[in-house]
Structure 1
Amino acid sequence: MTNAKLTALMARGTQFLGCDSAILCGAMSWVSERHLVSAMSNAGGFGVIACGAMTPALLDAEITATKALTTKPFGVNLITMHPQLFDLIDVCASHDVTHIVLAGGLPPKGSIEAIKAKGAKLICFAPALALAKKLARSGVDALIVEGHEAGGHIGPVATSVLAQEILPEMSEQLPVFVAGGIGRGEAIAAYLEMGAAGVQLGTRFACATESIAHPAFKKAFFRASARDAIASVQIDPRLPVIPVRALKNVGMENFTAKQREVANLLDSGSVDMGEAQLQIEHFWAGALRRAVIDGDVDGGSLMAGQSVGMVTKEEPVADIIAQLMAEAAVALERRAA
């Protein structure tokens, strides 16, 4: 059930993305691959491949495989600190990928120009208003404001606060998508009314039927409540580790030990700050793979947002999108009445 108001409020987002529903699937390492991405785009949403630590050859193969499963547009999420970022941008360009999402920090020098040179639209994360303005000035095409409630790497500010700060200032200039802690259509309706062009959800789609995540990984999500999705703790102020939200388990405790180990390496001068941060990233990539692919739900990383309590069963992507859209439409009708 889609009402005219919902279609109108989402029009800017759907036009920008080239899809029917302005709902992006957040790029989740190991989860957001060809199956989930194509299912998302085929169902009228917008799928995004999580490149993560992939080599250019692996990304090339993943994009090719995704194109074999959908003719609809989809995006690729690239990590700014990837040592081969510019090679990955070239791979996306060779496939005429329509949208690139840059995550994990400010775009390095020349990356914005390299992405836009081939006509791709660039989406960046804006964790603060000052950064949103800076990104808009530098030529970014759209923004994602993602709050503390999200799964995976997180910033310090809640989604509701970021939305109130950034939407009134930025939504006239460029499309802004809201993310973090969204699990139902009523929240989508509220952010659209505040000026969002659309939304991004990750946790809600992690356990979709089409997600390749291990059954044990999905079961951990079904059992969890919002309070089980906790943020990692930074143990050394000199090591600026971006906190990660995941379900509490032994893997979370292992991360604390890993930080100590890397901090000691920094102390001894055997690694520099860039290498230290890459080691932390590789730790997460490995821990996440163990949980998602191997089903090690104790020692692996169960990255999940606080909306995990709203994930109660495995269901097809198309059903999840239809439900979210129906809830949003009903919420808007209620307000109109």
Structure 2
Amino acid sequence: MNSYDKTHALMQRGRDFLGTEHAILCGAMSWVSERNLVSAISNAGGFGVIACGAMTPDLLDTEITETKARTDKPFGVNLITMHPDLNDLIAICAKHEVTHVVLAGGIPPKGSVEAIKDFGAKVIVFAPTLALAKKLLRSGGDALVIEGMEAGGHIGPVSTSVLAQEFLPVLAEDHLVFVAGGIGRGEAIAGYLEMGAVGVQLGTRFACATESIAHENFKKAFFRANARDAVASVQVDARLPVIPVRALKNNGTQEFTDKQREIAGSLDREEVAMAEAQLQVEHYWAGALRRAVIDGDVENGSLMAGQSVGMVKAEEPVADIMAGLMGECEAALARR
């Protein structure tokens, strides 16, 4: 049995909060973070998170049920704050007594945090600025994830290392802060834990695990890629504030640029309202991701990946990935 005494000591607050052996969350990756990967993460001592994404309430209901059938360990659900059925999705989480709900994609709508806390769940929030982080924690957030621009999927403009230096000295003593974005090895985990983080979140490192249902073509694209292949999308119209998305460069990257122009044209002609235009962008990503992850269309689908993709070289069981990260972290702390 491996001993991770130094790592577990620094992770203790995060472990207590999550109810897990290791304070390592798996980032919610649409189409990838589903019942198989989520349960494998939790069974390996980490904290799996179902990516609700564009799911309907019925689909989320089924996904939680199937995840529970595969693990008796804690796991969470990630909900997108702009989802039109957010209240119904929260009700599904309440029905299943989900212990932790992650609110991502924007400022939580009024009443959503209270609705989650009403059924006893913990709320995990994201914040790109220190001021917003303080506000969300005051407003009921139980823990915070700071995610740098090295991450895959939707990203902010600031690097993980800078966010950590800005947030952790101010917040770590009184709040639970997890660090995410570009983390691929245990040595990096050790550094953030020493700075005051209670744990970390990784997505890209787990995307190609043996238990991931991602298509063989999707996984091979990851194995071929290096850090500079994971590029951020470009916003083409200032009226359509698109959160940049980091993905491997392919035909789909250009298609998204074209899609923005198409939606901007609809705005020009007043055919859609701004909220609807932004939802169209989210639906585009859901479809593009499915083409890559499920159908294996790695030319036209979206290959969302963080810059740590260069550290993903082979398919490995989740338990091996977890043990490797924990072992690297423990060794780094032991060298201090």
Query: Which TM class, normalised by the smaller chain length?
Result: over 0.9
DSSP-derived class of the 1:75 partner: strand
CA RMSD of aligned residues (A): 0.6
Question: Is the 2:179–2:199 contact (alpha carbons within 8 Å) kept by the matching residues of 1?
Answer: yes
1:315 partner amino acid: E
Q: State TM-score, norm by structure 2.
A: 0.99
> Would you say 1:175 and 2:170 are equivalent positions?
no
1 CA distance for matches of 2:142 and 2:173?
A: 12
Tell me the equivalent position of 2:28: 27
Question: Is the 2:248–2:303 contact (alpha carbons within 8 Å) kept by the matching residues of 1?
Answer: yes
Give the aligned length. 335
1 CA distance for matches of 2:38 and 2:129?
A: 28
Tell me the equivalent position of 1:39: 40
Question: Is the 1:2–1:325 contact (alpha carbons within 8 Å) kept by the matching residues of 2?
Answer: no
1 CA distance for matches of 2:4 and 2:79?
A: 35
2 CA distance for matches of 1:10 and 1:284?
A: 34
Deviations 1:56-115 (Å, cap 9, x if unpaired)? 000000000000000001000000000000000000000000000000000000001000
Question: Is the 1:30–1:289 contact (alpha carbons within 8 Å) kept by the matching residues of 2?
Answer: yes
Tell me the equivalent position of 1:308: 309
Tell me the equivalent position of 1:191: 192
2 CA distance for matches of 1:86 and 1:267?
A: 31
Match runs of 1:285-324 below 5 Å: 285-324=286-325
Deviations 1:264-305 (Å, cap 9, x if unpaired)? 111111111100000000000000000000000000000000
Q: State TM-score, norm by structure 1.
A: 0.99
Shift of 1:191: 0.2
Deviations 1:167-216 (Å, cap 9, x if unpaired)? 11111222100000000000000000000000000000000000000000
DSSP-derived class of the 2:212 partner: coil
1 CA distance for matches of 2:140 and 2:219?
A: 39
Match runs of 1:1-337 below 5 Å: 1-335=2-336
1:127 partner amino acid: P
1:51 partner amino acid: C
2 CA distance for matches of 1:163 and 1:87?
A: 34
Structure 1: unaligned runs, 5 residues or longer: none
Which contiguous aligned blocks of 4+ residues in structure 1 show a shift greater than 3 angstroms? none
DSSP-derived class of the 1:265 partner: helix
Deviations 1:236-268 (Å, cap 9, x if unpaired)? 111100000000000000000000000111111
Structure 2: unaligned runs, 5 residues or longer: none
DSSP-derived class of the 1:69 partner: coil
1:153 partner amino acid: H
1 CA distance for matches of 2:332 and 2:320?
A: 18
2:280 partner amino acid: Q
Question: Is the 1:231–1:245 contact (alpha carbons within 8 Å) kept by the matching residues of 2?
Answer: yes
2 CA distance for matches of 1:174 and 1:98?
A: 18
